[in-house]
């Protein structure tokens, strides 16, 4: 588990504790948006991407919050996420 002072912590437990997350291709939350960021490390998600940009990740049911694979693995025990599918 990441340490209590891990740089990625920014109070995410207020909105991401015990939420349902599903692995999926990146889908913009709203028409007109073209990217999003991992809620923890800030990694960028886009629909089609160059290197260093993610096209898949764990998202809340409404596609509003995105979490990259690495942060998901690091914080999953602590945040007690309910994984709705797992194909990645």
Site of interaction with Zn ion (CB under 5 A) = 38, 40-41, 43, 68, 71
CA 38/CA 67 separation, integer angstroms: 5
Q: Given the complex with Zn ion, which of 32 and 52 has the nearer CB atom? A: 52
Q: Given the complex with Zn ion, which of 70 and 85 has the nearer CB atom? A: 70
Q: How far is the CB of 69 from Zn ion (least distance, A)?
A: 8
Strands 82-85, 20-25: pairing is: parallel
| Residues with Cβ within 8 Å of residue 40, at least 6 apart in sequence | 8, 9, 10, 12, 67, 68, 71, 74, 75
Residue 45 structure tokens: 């998600």
């Amino acid at each position: 588990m990441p340490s209590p002072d891990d740089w990625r912590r920014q109070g995410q437990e207020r909105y991401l504790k015990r939420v349902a997350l599903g692995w999926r291709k990146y889908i913009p939350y709203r028409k007109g948006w073209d990217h999003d960021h991992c809620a923890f490390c800030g990694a960028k998600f886009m629909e089609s991407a160059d290197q260093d940009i993610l096209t898949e990740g764990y998202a809340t049911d409404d596609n509003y919050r995105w979490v990259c694979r690495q942060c998901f693995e690091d914080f999953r025990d602590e945040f007690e996420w309910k994984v709705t599918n797992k194909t990645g």
